[in-house]
Amino acid sequence: MPILPASHTGRLDLKRRLPPFVLGFLSLALQIVLLREFFVHFQGNEMTYGLLLASWLFWGGLGSLLAHRLKVSSGRLSNLFCLVLILSPACLAGLRLSRLALGILPTELTGPSAMSAFALALTLLVSFPLGLLFVSAVRARGGDAAFVYSMESLGAAAGGLAVHFLLVPHLSNWQVAGLVGLAAWTAVFFFGSGKPHVWLRAGAALAPVLLFFGDAPTQRLFWKPLALVATRDTPYGKLQVVGAGSEVTLYVNAVPVFSSGDAAEAEEAVHFALLQRPRPENVLLLGGGAGGGIEEALKHPGGILDYVELDPEIIRLSERILPPEKTAVFLNPRVSIHYRDGRAYLAETPKRYDAILLNLPEPSTAQLNRYYTLEFFQSAARRLAPDGVLSFRIPSSEIYISPARARYLASLRSTLSAVFPETAVVPGTSNIFLASRAPLSLDAEALSREGERRGLRTTYVRRELLEDRLNPMRVEFLRRSIDAEPARINTDLVPLCYYYANTMWAAHFSGPESRLLEFLSRAPRGPLVGLPLILGLLVFLFLRLRASRRTALLAPLALLGFSGIAVEVFVVLRFQTLYGAAYGSVALLLAFFMAGLGIGSRLSRSPIRASRKGLLLCQAALTAFPGLAVLFLPFRAPKIVLFLALFLYGAAGGAFFVQANRLTILKEKDHGTGYGLDLLGSFLGAAAVSTVFLPLAGLMPTALLLLGLNLIAFLFLSSLPERSSSRTALSRP
């Protein structure tokens, strides 16, 4: 046998290693971009994340399972890569222009059915061929699925790190996708094995370029007939300034933050609280300052204002689009601007405030919900003076309060009442919630006199309108409407209000999903956790009694996917609750998880035989995580602990995947079976955990559910007999 030169051997080894690495890098980078864009264009929340992620995983798993029937071979590897690069711009363009297909206006709400249909259609374009790519890469490696799985995971980790640290801080989402696509094309064309067809090669090179330069034109097309004045993608979200005539509106992730001509919101957010006390000296404003909150607060004589804003780009854009007289407030000596997470600032500041004005959108996401929980209100109470006031505003209705909205408002009021002895709710199209340790007033005459004494010049919070809005009959109607529904306290660990907000959103559209969300919102937490445990126990009992040993191991592989994605969502939500801004940190969190998968599967690729003992050790580690979560969830975990937890769980999952595959994959047609089941299990986990278990049952019951399911799997594996004939290694000798 001739001896190859060292340079040729290294080049050959690179060609073998590069395709699965590029597959992981490209897959996670595109997934992150699509998640961020989907979140924006469907005014999303964590349920939206779960819906798109579930669709992505479904098609990836199906592609892997069907690869044998579609006769995917190693020779199609480069062609499949090019196909993904060509379809990625079509996927993102279809998402951005989805409103044209739906026939709706910009920012008009889209129903759950339409959103689900688009999630499935768009992810099909990219994720299905990625599933085929995995099997093609395995066959290019002579059936070494463990190697491909580990290299793909390491590539995904590198993709997450690159997106988080190098790309997102400087480029838009589309530009990130374009640059990643060009890098993947370069790797495949110059270093990959096999040459794609000429037209595929040209199309794959052109598509990322179109993405890179097509961002701004397609955004302008999306907003027509309105004019897009400015746009920025930041680590915290997508900022878009839209103009209509002389007015401009700032949207953050498609949610309007302020309009230059809307003084009512700013007045409501400030004056109802500040008029409660004769001399508010120290005021804290969380969000909404650029939309007039600072200007309204400064109308009260004396005192100083601390304004907290997470994203500095909001202030920079405001200075660019607003007239000088509006932006002069940012330089007022009475104003101090802090670019921080509002909740972190409140927990760390030593100052005491006479009023804390929460001027943020309603808790329609878990990110926003963390400002409306028992824990946040307790933190605010510690920073308030003895007679200090906390206030926030929630969109509502003047005439009819539906049961779903009443349940939502009741949860907010009961959560406030658990901390503050005095609470009040102002009726109107926006309900102003007030809370304090000292008495509060909704007397229109008293508030009007106090405003006149201070010389306030307002348009909406003034005597004539207050007398109508604070009419005792209207106040009593709102109170009775709220009291008619049972109230559950909104907490960090059970983020109910963002689920209630989504129930009201779904109620705008006719369909079974809105009725399902409404039904689940009333369901007790016990059955939500108990029924899946019973179902899991029955499945494993059936497999133990009826299935062969090799097929019986497929269920733990599916559970691995279910638990893995559940843990990802679990940790992301906990990270978001404690530290905020998961929109900007999700890439880094996923990178740690994928790095763990890659290293764990890599360490398990030694040529030793797979055995029940190896599986049991991996399953024990997977069971330990939810067990530890149950013990330590009530405590505040440092950031590094959450990143490390994802890494270690990923390592255990990667090792389990390799061990289980060695015992199940015996024929060439099975190369995609383990990977496909892992992804389909992840699909179920993303759909169920993010949309039902976490928002309704909460983090602790979800951890108990994962603990129970993995404990059942451990007992199931313990009951399987050890058979040497089943010890089949995947790795080539």
- What SS3 state is found at 728? coil
Residue 372: CB atoms within 10 A of its CB come to 25
Contact of 310 with 236, CB cutoff 8 Å:
yes
Contact of 627 with 72, CB cutoff 8 Å:
no
**Beta pairing partners, 337:** 307
* CB-based contacts of 669, cutoff 8 Å, min separation 6: 68
Residue 123: per-residue pLDDT: 94
In the numeric block, the tokens 């270690």 are attached to 648
Contact of 96 with 222, CB cutoff 8 Å:
yes
In the numeric block, the tokens 């899991």 are attached to 536
**Beta pairing partners, 283:** 305, 355
H helix runs in 470-553, sequence order = 472-483, 496-507, 512-522, 525-546, 549-552
247-252 and 237-244 strand pairing: antiparallel
Between the CA atoms of 129, 134, 139 and 143, what dihedral angle is there, to the nearest 10 degrees?
Answer: -150
- What SS3 state is found at 638? coil
- What SS3 state is found at 678? helix
H helix runs in 192-290, sequence order = 198-213, 215-223, 263-274
Predicted TM-score of the model (pTM):
0.87
Cis preceding linkage at 278, omega within 30: no
Phi-psi region of 310 (alpha: psi -120 to 50; beta: other; left: phi over 0): alpha
Contact of 72 with 132, CB cutoff 8 Å:
yes
Integer Cα distance of 307 and 315 in angstroms = 11
* CB-based contacts of 546, cutoff 8 Å, min separation 6: none
DSSP labels, 438-455: S-----HHHHHHHHHHHT
Integer Cα distance of 468 and 452 in angstroms = 18
**Beta pairing partners, 425:** 433
DSSP state of 107: T
In the numeric block, the tokens 């030694």 are attached to 606
H helix runs in 42-111, sequence order = 46-66, 77-96, 98-102
Integer Cα distance of 310 and 26 in angstroms = 30
The arrangement of strands across the sheet holding 227-234 comes to: 227-234, 237-244, 247-252, 255-259
Integer Cα distance of 293 and 314 in angstroms = 14
User: How much of the chain is helix, strand and coil, in % rounded to 5?
Assistant: 65, 10, 25
In the numeric block, the tokens 């090019």 are attached to 82
Which tokens hold the place of 204? 């794959």
**Domains of the chain, first to last:** 1-213 (1.20.1250), 260-506 (3.40.50.150), 523-733 (1.20.1250.20)
CA distances from 324 to 305, 318, 319, 332, 721 (A): 20, 10, 8, 13, 78
Q: Is the dihedral of CA 725, 727, 732, 733 positive or negative?
A: negative
Identify which of 65, 430, 60 has the alpha carbon closest to the alpha carbon of residue 269.
Answer: 430
Predicted confidence (pLDDT) per residue in 194-238, tens digit: 666 788 888 999 999 999 999 999 999 888 888 899 999 988 888
Residue 507: per-residue pLDDT: 75
DSSP state of 690: I
* CB-based contacts of 638, cutoff 8 Å, min separation 6: none
Dump strand ranges (E) for 212-296. 227-234, 237-244, 247-252, 255-259, 282-286
304-308 and 282-286 strand pairing: parallel
Phi-psi region of 510 (alpha: psi -120 to 50; beta: other; left: phi over 0): beta
Identity of the residue numbered 201: R
Integer Cα distance of 83 and 28 in angstroms = 17
Residue 31: CB atoms within 10 A of its CB come to 26
Residue 10: per-residue pLDDT: 46
In the numeric block, the tokens 């039902």 are attached to 692
Question: Could you give phi then psi for residue 237, rounded to 5 degrees?
Answer: 155, 180
* CB-based contacts of 634, cutoff 8 Å, min separation 6: 493
Contact of 107 with 251, CB cutoff 8 Å:
yes
Identify which of 408, 407, 502 has the alpha carbon closest to the alpha carbon of residue 49.
Answer: 502
In the numeric block, the tokens 């939810």 are attached to 626
Identify which of 204, 206, 176, 207 has the alpha carbon closest to the alpha carbon of residue 192.
Answer: 204
The 10 Å CB-count burial string (b at 16+, else e) for 422-453 is: bbbbbbbebbbbbbbeeebebebeebbebbee
**Beta pairing partners, 306:** 284, 336
Q: How many residues does the chain have?
A: 733
74 CB burial (10 A radius; 0-12, 13-18, 19+): middle
* CB-based contacts of 72, cutoff 8 Å, min separation 6: 80, 132, 135, 136, 139
Integer Cα distance of 236 and 249 in angstroms = 18
Integer Cα distance of 247 and 199 in angstroms = 48
97 CB burial (10 A radius; 0-12, 13-18, 19+): middle
Contact of 682 with 57, CB cutoff 8 Å:
yes
Phi-psi region of 390 (alpha: psi -120 to 50; beta: other; left: phi over 0): beta
Integer Cα distance of 651 and 293 in angstroms = 48
- Spans in the chain with pLDDT lower than 50: 1-10, 12, 607-608, 666-669, 724-733
Between the CA atoms of 608, 711, 588 and 46, what dihedral angle is there, to the nearest 10 degrees?
Answer: 150
Residue 193: CB atoms within 10 A of its CB come to 16
Which tokens hold the place of 102? 């739906």
